[in-house]
Amino acid sequence: MQIVDIKEKWTNRINALTIGATNAEGGTRAKTVTVGGETTLPFLTFEGDIPNPPALAGLVVDVVPEDWPDVLKQAIGKEINSPVEWAQKAVRDWKVDLICLKLLGPDPLGRNLSADHAAKTVKDILNAVDVPLILWGCGDLEKDNEILPACSQAARGENCLIGPATDKNYRTLAAIGKADKHKLIGEAPVDINIAKQINILLQDAGFDINDVVMCQVTAALGYGFDYVYTIFERVRIAGLKGDKHMALPQIANIGWETWKVKEAIADDDVLPGWGKLAQRGPRWEAAAAAGYIQAGADILTLAHPESIAITKQTISELSEK
């Protein structure tokens, strides 16, 4: 009997995108991070090229999230009270590739901090660490339209990744991305059609689609994880088949989403038999990461140092195999 070696061959390559700028490129970063560039599905190196492994971004929040469990706060350490020291620790001790700064402080439902305060935080972190930065808004559309332009200007020339750009604020994000030479995150509410529409809208607004990273609002292993997984996978397959509006790198905001779900934050007595929260929480985050990198995520944000270490090992083992 003849054995046929069947390999999938795709017609297109996922766009390669670089975050960060060195001194020679007009910035101050010691290195840049390039993601994308694949010609096959994740880790299937026998079928195509995967020039850049998934990148890990250490999640840093400008103010301590009130709803985070003590096990996460304690794992990060006293540095959690200073976004600068937190970022330094993530780079120095956890060896992350990038820093993802979540600008929660300006949220009108929280401390409602000013755009100037947010811009100063960005400048302070840029001065404290030398890896590329991701700047993520608070989620309030009106406030993000205030703070993100100020943060973009503060980081001008550093080639950051800024977002999220949605179907409501894409014109503002396209303008600051072009003016200050940054990359953008195009975010969709777990809908492949809206995801493509946002990319088209950004392009129509004059922003280069090759400077966009796609984002689906990430479910963290709870209800909807399987659906989000399939969206990531469908986007990647569409891109490999030749859809230029889908042939873009993807980011999974796991660190921010994981520490909202009951299974990762509920005390031991609430979920008897599920294991101690100190072990369950970071493993829940790492399990979500393991799923999304196999679905097509090129960048993952992670919060717990243990989940960062586990995910690094997972990427290494999958790459070797």
CATH at residue 104: 3.20.20.20
- The residue-averaged pLDDT of 136-155 equals 97
Domain span including residue 104: 45-320
Q: What is the pLDDT of residues 84-126, one digit of tens each?
A: 999 999 999 999 999 999 999 999 999 999 999 999 999 999 9
- Confirm whether 34 is domain-assigned: no
Residue 40 vs residues 26, 55, 198, 248: alpha-carbon distances, Å: 33, 17, 24, 13
Given a cut of 80, is residue 260 above it in pLDDT? yes
- Confirm whether 286 is domain-assigned: yes
Site of tokens 């790492």: 286
- Confirm whether 141 is domain-assigned: yes
- Angle among Cα 212, 214, 240 to the nearest 5 degrees reads 95
What pTM did the predictor assign? 0.95
Split at pLDDT 50, 70, 90, the class of 263 is confident
- Confirm whether 36 is domain-assigned: no
- Confirm whether 28 is domain-assigned: no
Domain count across the chain: 1
Q: What is the structure's pLDDT at 46?
A: 92
Classify residue 265 as exposed, middle or buried by CB count within 10 Å of its CB (0-12, 13-18, 19+).
Answer: buried
- Confirm whether 19 is domain-assigned: no
Q: What is the pLDDT of residues 51-92, one digit of tens each?
A: 999 999 999 999 999 999 999 999 999 999 999 999 999 999
- Confirm whether 78 is domain-assigned: yes
- Confirm whether 270 is domain-assigned: yes
